[in-house]
């Protein structure tokens, strides 16, 4: 790490800058590296800290005893064939310690907090970032405070509470919880891990791209990412750009934004920019706000907090902006589980719904190598998952024969 660059105005700060946002325009920051010094060699450690040379923190050793990352990449042949796609892969993040990709972000962010002397970390979350922060804080001996909207799924709240976090359910939306977390952290001097505001979260999430490249053995044609506030998407793009800057790959994949049509602020912004037909001036681009309402709570966001970085990622990569209905998302949950054996929460199923929409609209070739980023486990929100009921039978073979 050698400094920071503003995503909006491109102003640069040195590595010793203590703020989290650009001091010139207030925009989000991107962490920069001396790629020649980092070198192309990765370590032998299991998990995401194999890539410590391209992270803004050293290998934590016993400071963080949990193994994060190293998640599998599955070829989903039956799933792809069901829609006419020949080369579909699932980057399955559901096996991380708190069962979502957010553990990657929390690892880097909390290690940064420890390095700055923090003993209390706080986060605003729709659920997954909160349970992730609580999980890693417990393992690292930190106090965690989690701000969530009062509608957050019970399973995610249960996780955070079980890990010992102080959980504050805010009467209002995720955006209300986010703003409150900012205010309280400023007043109390807590380390704020919240997405977008904290540039270190993007650095953790990018390691999923490093792993995808190594596991696949090549660069895919496109990566489809479920998108709410935009940080997972911008992190995925950062990972591929880092690999190119380090001289490890020659070309970049397209990064596609998958959103619910009830929470489509980033997709709308991308469409507006492309319809304008002009080269975007990132200093003047305003990311749209919406009144979000979707079954996919993890991507239900009124005002995307890392929206500009996500918009830039899609446009710079030549990717697509795709919106899908809640019905399509719910159908995708069953298809992922029944045809690929991966149980995804609603937000994590959105990339498969988006892939089918892209194919139907002629915006994707059936032979492209497509990676779907499966960001969270379906057990985190079983109330949203459509499911039938078990067949009740008597304890004898005749009863079984009667129903089968």
Q: What are the tens digits of pLDDT across the range 138-183? A: 999 999 999 999 888 888 889 999 999 999 999 999 899 999 999 9
Question: Which residue, among 96, 97, 112, 12, has the nearest Cα to 60 in the 3D structure?
Answer: 112
pTM above 0.85, yes or no: yes
Question: Which residue, among 121, 245, 259, 248, has the nearest Cα to 191 in the 3D structure?
Answer: 121
Average pLDDT, the chain: 94
Q: At 369, is the pLDDT very low, low, confident or very high (cuts 50, 70, 90)?
A: very high
**Would you state the pLDDT for residue 311?**
98
**Would you state the pLDDT for residue 58?**
86
Q: Is the dihedral of CA 5, 204, 206, 280 positive or negative?
A: negative
**Would you state the pLDDT for residue 404?**
84
User: Would the pLDDT of 38 be above 90?
Assistant: no
The percentage of residues in the chain with a pLDDT greater than 90, rounded to a whole number, is 85
Q: Are 148 and 169 in contact, with CB atoms under 8 Å apart? A: yes
Q: What are the tens digits of pLDDT across the range 378-397? A: 998 887 777 677 878 888 88
**Would you state the pLDDT for residue 300?**
92
- Rounded to the nearest angstrom, the gap between the alpha carbon of residue 184 and the centroid of all alpha carbons in its chain is 25
Q: At 358, is the pLDDT very low, low, confident or very high (cuts 50, 70, 90)?
A: very high
Per residue, the 3-state secondary structure of 329-354, as one string, reads: HHHHHHHHHHHHCCCECHHHHHHHHH
CA atoms within 13 A on the CB side of 121: 34
In this structure, whether the domain defined by 73-97+201-384 belongs to CATH 3.20.20.70 is answered with no
Partner residues linked to 222 by β-bridges = 254, 370
**CA separation (Å) from 302 to 231, 262, 402?**
14, 10, 51
Q: Are 318 and 251 in contact, with CB atoms under 8 Å apart? A: no
- Average pLDDT for residues 304-314, to the nearest whole number? 97
Judging by beta carbons within 10 Å of its beta carbon (0-12, 13-18, 19+), is residue 353 exposed, middle or buried? Answer: buried
Question: Which residue, among 304, 396, 352, 287, has the nearest Cα to 92 in the 3D structure?
Answer: 352
- Tokens read off for 293: 């309402």
**Would you state the pLDDT for residue 398?**
87
- Tokens read off for 291: 């009144």
User: Would the pLDDT of 337 be above 70?
Assistant: yes
Q: What are the tens digits of pLDDT across the range 48-106? A: 999 999 999 988 988 999 999 999 999 999 999 999 999 999 999 999 999 999 999 99
- The count of other CB atoms within 10 Å of the CB of residue 391 is 10
Distance from C-alpha of 208 to C-alpha of 401, rounded to nearest angstrom: 47
- Average pLDDT for residues 211-239, to the nearest whole number? 97
**Would you state the pLDDT for residue 394?**
84
Q: Per-domain residue ranges for the chain?
A: 73-97+201-384
**Would you state the pLDDT for residue 40?**
66
- Average pLDDT for residues 291-297, to the nearest whole number? 93
Q: Alpha helix locations (H) across 258-306?
A: 265-276
Distance from C-alpha of 242 to C-alpha of 246, rounded to nearest angstrom: 6
Q: At 42, is the pLDDT very low, low, confident or very high (cuts 50, 70, 90)?
A: confident
- Tokens read off for 298: 């993890």
Q: What are the tens digits of pLDDT across the range 189-215? A: 999 999 989 999 999 999 999 999 999
């Amino acid at each position: 790490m050698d400094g920071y660059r503003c995503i909006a105005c491109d102003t640069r700060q040195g590595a010793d800058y203590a703020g989290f946002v650009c001091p010139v325009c207030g925009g989000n920051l991107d962490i920069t590296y001396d790629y020649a010094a980092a070198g192309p060699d990765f370590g032998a450690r299991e998990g995401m800290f194999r890539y410590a040379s391209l992270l803004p923190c050293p290998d934590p050793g016993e400071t963080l005893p949990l193994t994060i990352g190293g998640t599998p990449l599955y070829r989903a042949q039956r799933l792809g064939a069901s829609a006419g796609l020949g080369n579909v892969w699932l980057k399955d993040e559901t096996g991380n310690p708190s069962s979502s990709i957010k553990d990657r972000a929390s690892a880097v962010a909390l290690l940064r907090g420890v390095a700055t002397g923090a003993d209390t970390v706080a986060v605003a979350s729709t659920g997954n970032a909160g349970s992730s922060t609580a999980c890693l804080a417990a393992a690292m001996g930190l106090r965690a405070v989690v701000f969530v909207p009062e509608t957050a799924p019970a399973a995610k709240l249960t996780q955070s509470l079980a890990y010992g976090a102080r959980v504050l359910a805010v009467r209002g939306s995720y955006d209300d919880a986010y703003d409150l977390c900012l205010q309280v952290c400023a007043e109390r001097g807590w380390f704020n891990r919240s997405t977008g505001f904290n540039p270190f979260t993007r650095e953790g999430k990018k390691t999923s791209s490093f792993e995808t490249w190594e596991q696949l053995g090549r660069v895919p044609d496109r990566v489809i990412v479920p998108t709410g506030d935009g940080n997972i998407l911008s992190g995925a793009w950062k990972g591929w750009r880092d690999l190119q800057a380090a001289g490890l790959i020659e070309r970049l994949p397209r990064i596609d934004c998958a959103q619910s049509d009830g929470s489509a602020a980033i997709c709308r912004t991308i469409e507006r920019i492309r319809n304008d037909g002009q080269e975007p001036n990132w200093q003047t681009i305003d990311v749209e706000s919406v009144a979000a309402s979707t079954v996919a709570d993890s991507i239900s966001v009124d005002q995307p907090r890392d929206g500009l970085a996500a918009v830039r990622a899609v446009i710079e990569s030549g990717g697509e902006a795709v919106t899908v209905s809640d019905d399509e998302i719910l159908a995708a949950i069953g298809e992922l589980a029944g045809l690929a054996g991966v149980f995804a929460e609603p937000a994590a199923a959105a990339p498969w719904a988006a892939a089918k929409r892209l194919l139907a609209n002629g915006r994707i070739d059936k032979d492209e190598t497509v990676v779907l980023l499966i960001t969270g486990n379906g057990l985190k929100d079983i109330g949203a998952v459509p499911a039938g009921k078990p067949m009740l039978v008597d304890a004898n073979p005749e009863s079984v024969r009667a129903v089968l």
